[in-house]
């Protein structure tokens, strides 16, 4: 018998589930919104519309015309409806996160800001310019189609070795995989032990030497360290057979050996950034398995050693995806840098894709000259076998954290065998290496570990010279849990660089007179820094 106070139409069958209830609530909110939107609008004279919270719609044209204000607010409300329904769906946590990532890509693409017909700023620009902005936008679009990517910076404004990567130095060693750059001293005396830097191989090294005023390389040199830096080759088909072991043996361990010989030092200090830190940890564990301890200290910047929680990047990796890659490029071939860059950009599409589409193609505004975004667009290829080994043994199976879980360069690897003191840095808003995951690596190393958490993200948190007086960082004694560590950590104003510089100085050894001639008899200078390899563009 039907309840007259609660007719069937008031409670559709699909509201019996949490997802259905979320949809019902969202639809009711949408109905109320559009009903209100259809009423005549008569704002008081001089009254300003409340700006939208989303920065895509914060400009005055979106608020001045009620049609566009309603359009943007309707879009935002629909987006909220879709996300709420997904959160209420009966899915496991990983599936829900995967669908959330996919949904965000769709919703971001659907934004009315991304279409000429529904973007009042672009329409106004077209009117004001007599259509010239549309002509220029079409030209920019065709240029980007030829490049195969969305331009984020004026590519003609920078040249590697001319106005980026300008710290003086020399290439003192090279093989088919890397060049080793030795930087010229800027102090009369230097620490006996050199500093060997291993940057990520999925990007060019010059993020660490972008401009003189924000160069981590120049800062380390100014602190009295003889700095050696690995410049990875932008590989092509001829190097498509190289594997992870080659990067460990002929890359990291070779660089350490050359730096020790040139410096005449018993040990070197080492630094690895991102995947460069993963390679460094692997290399030092291989050395330990061979009964060697070439590093006096280890610095890891935004590095994953434990891949238990890999953020949104990890959501894209499963057995089927890895097996497909192994079948296509696992025995030889290239993982193209352009494909990697597209994946990273998709993690922050509203920062790294759509603003440049809107400003460029819809408004006809060429991107400005920005060194960081120029570097971001300087793609780097990886050998297929190396990339596939990395995917399977880290992101997919998380075997690096297990003692003996991987065999590298012919020996079982155990990160706890690395007994050198370590300085581990993470960025709190890092979307590539979640800081909690970087913190988990502190539990795997066998020596004394100091952990520092910086503000901001993967790049801005790392490249934060103290002279800028920006951001802050947190320090504190280690705990087993990242959350517990943060609860007791102390916030310190400014850059983390001085804390690291002070720590590194204690491991540098005695001060000696700086040698002005790069290399030695066995390893003479080959060419000036930054070298040929970093200048090679991805094909």
Residue 346 structure tokens: 């998709």
Instruction: Please name the residue that has the structure tokens 């290829």.
Output: 381
470 within 8 A of 461, measured Cβ to Cβ: no
Task: Give the pLDDT of residue 539.
Answer: 81
* Contact yes or no for 213/197 (Cβ under 8 A): no
| pLDDT value for 28 | 55
In the chain, what are the domain boundaries?
17-23+49-128, 169-334+379-535
- Tokens 């990160």 found at: 415
Q: In percent, how much of the chain has pLDDT > 70?
A: 90
Is residue 142's pLDDT more than 80?
Answer: yes
Tokens, residue 518 = 């790069």
Is residue 274 flagged as an active site residue? yes
Which of 93-102, 245-254, 406-415 is predicted least confidently?
Answer: 93-102
- Specify whether the CB–CB gap between 438 and 304 falls below 8 A: yes
The SS3 call for residue 230 is: strand
pLDDT band of 10, cuts 50, 70, 90: very low
| Exposure string over 5-23, b if 16+ CB within 10 A, otherwise e | eeeeeeeeeeeeeebbebb
User: What does the DSSP assignment read for 409-423?
Assistant: TTEE--GGG--S-EE
pLDDT at residue 69 in the model: 93
Q: Check residue 405 and give its pLDDT.
A: 98
- Model pLDDT for residues 492-501, shown as the tens digit of each residue: 999 999 999 9
pLDDT given at position 147: 87
Candidates 313, 326, 303, 378; CA nearest to 533 is 378
Whether pLDDT at 300 is above 80: yes
Q: C-alpha angle with apex 147: 145 to 149, nearest 5 degrees?
A: 75
Banded pLDDT at 148 (limits 50, 70, 90): confident
- Which pLDDT score is estimated for 53? 73
The DSSP bridge partners found for residue 189 are 513
DSSP H or E segment with residue 268: strand 268-273
Catalytic residue among 201, 274, 388, 409: 274
Instruction: Report d(CA 165, CA 207) in Å as an integer.
Output: 8
Per-residue pLDDT at 38: 40
Q: Is 485 helix (H, G, I), strand (E, B) or coil?
A: helix
Residue closest to 291 by CA, chosen among 414, 203, 130, 445: 414
> What is the spatial distance between Cα 339 and Cα 21, in angstroms, rounded to a whole number?
39
- Give me the mean pLDDT over the 79-93 stretch: 92
Residues 166-190 have a mean pLDDT of 98
Write the DSSP string, 95-140: HHHHHHHHHHHHHHHH-GGGSGGG-HHHHHHHHHTTTHHHHHHHHH
* Longest CA span, the chain: 99
Lowest mean pLDDT, pick from 22-36, 162-176, 293-307, 512-526: 22-36
In angstroms, rounded to a whole number, what is the distance separating the alpha carbons of residues 169 and 528? 6
Which pLDDT score is estimated for 21? 53
* Mean pLDDT in residue range 165-182: 98
Please say if the pLDDT value at position 1 is more than 50: no
Q: Are strands 511-513 and 189-191 parallel, antiparallel or unpaired?
A: antiparallel
Backbone φ, ψ for residue 452 (5° rounding): -130, 135
**Tokens at 384, concatenated:** 């297929």
Which alpha helices (DSSP H) does 205-274 contain, by range?
216-222, 244-246, 254-263
Q: Is it the case that residue 209 has pLDDT exceeding 90?
A: yes
Q: In the predicted model, what is the mean pLDDT of residues 44-66?
A: 71
Does the structure show a pLDDT above 90 at 328? yes
Mean pLDDT of 10-17: 45
Task: Indicate the average pLDDT of the chain.
Answer: 91
pLDDT-above-90 percentage for the chain? 85
DSSP for residue 169: E
Going from the C-alpha of 8 to that of each of 3, 14, 29, 377, the distances in angstroms are: 8, 12, 20, 57
- Local structure of residue 362 (DSSP, 8 states): I
- Cα-based distances in Å from 66 to 116, 419, 464: 17, 65, 43
Residue 26 has pLDDT above 80, yes or no: no
**CATH entry 3.20.20.20 includes domain 169-334+379-535:** no
Q: What is the mean pLDDT of residues 96-122?
A: 94
Confidence of residue 41 (pLDDT cuts 50, 70, 90): very low
Residue 81 has pLDDT above 70, yes or no: yes
pLDDT category at 25 given cuts 50, 70, 90 is low
């Amino acid at each position: 018998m039907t309840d007259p106070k609660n007719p069937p139409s008031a409670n559709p069958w699909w509201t019996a589930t949490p997802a259905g209830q979320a949809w019902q609530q969202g639809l009711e909110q949408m109905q109320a919104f559009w009903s209100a939107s259809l009423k005549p609008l008569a704002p008081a004279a001089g009254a300003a519309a409340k700006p939208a919270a989303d920065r895509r719609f914060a400009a005055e044209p979106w608020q001045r015309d009620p049609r566009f204000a309603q359009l943007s607010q309707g879009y935002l409300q629909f987006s909220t409806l879709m996300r709420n329904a997904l959160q209420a769906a009966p899915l496991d946590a990983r599936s829900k996160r995967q669908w959330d990532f996919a949904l965000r890509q769709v919703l971001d693409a659907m934004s009315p800001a991304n279409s000429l017909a529904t973007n009042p700023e672009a329409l106004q620009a077209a009117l004001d310019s007599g259509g010239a902005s549309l002509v220029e936008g079409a030209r920019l679009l065709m240029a980007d189609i030829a490049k195969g990517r969305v331009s984020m910076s004026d590519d003609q404004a920078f040249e590697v070795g001319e106005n980026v990567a300008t710290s003086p130095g020399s290439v003192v060693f090279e093989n088919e995989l890397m060049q080793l750059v030795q930087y010229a001293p800027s102090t009369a005396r230097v620490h006996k032990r050199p500093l060997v830097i291993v940057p990520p191989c999925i990007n060019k090294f010059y993020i660490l030497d972008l401009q003189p005023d924000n160069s981590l390389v120049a800062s380390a040199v100014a602190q009295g360290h003889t700095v050696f830096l690995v410049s990875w080759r932008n590989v092509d088909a001829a190097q498509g057979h190289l594997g992870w072991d080659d990067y460990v043996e002929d890359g990291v361990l070779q660089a350490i050996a050359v730096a020790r010989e040139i410096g005449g030092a018993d040990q070197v200090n080492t630094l690895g950034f991102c995947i460069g830190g993963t390679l460094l940890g692997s290399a030092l564990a291989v050395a330990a398995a061979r009964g060697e301890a070439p590093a006096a200290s280890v610095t890891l910047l935004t590095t994953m050693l434990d891949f238990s929680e890999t953020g949104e990047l990890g959501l894209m990796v499963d057995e089927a995806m890895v097996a497909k890659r192994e079948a296509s490029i696992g025995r030889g071939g290239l993982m193209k840098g352009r494909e990697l860059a597209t994946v990273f950009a998709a993690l922050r599409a509203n920062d790294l894709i759509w603003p440049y589409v809107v400003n460029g193609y819809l408004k006809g505004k060429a991107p400005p000259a920005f060194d960081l975004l120029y570097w971001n667009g300087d793609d780097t290829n990886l050998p297929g076998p190396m990339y596939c080994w990395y995917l399977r043994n880290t992101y997919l199976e998380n075997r690096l954290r297990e003692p003996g879980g991987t065999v590298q360069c012919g020996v079982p690897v155990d990160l706890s065998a690395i007994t050198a003191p370590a300085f581990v840095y993470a960025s709190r808003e890092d979307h590539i290496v979640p800081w909690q995951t970087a913190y988990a690596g502190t539990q795997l190393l066998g020596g004394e570990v100091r952990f520092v958490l910086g503000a901001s993200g993967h790049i801005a948190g790392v490249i934060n010279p103290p002279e800028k007086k920006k951001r802050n960082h947190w320090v504190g004694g280690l705990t087993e849990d990242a959350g517990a560590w943060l609860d007791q950590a102390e916030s310190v104003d400014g850059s983390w660089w001085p804390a690291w510089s002070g720590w590194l100085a204690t491991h540098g050894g005695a001060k000696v007179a700086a040698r002005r001639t790069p290399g030695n008899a066995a390893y003479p200078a080959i060419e000036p820094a930054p070298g040929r390899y970093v200048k090679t563009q991805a094909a």
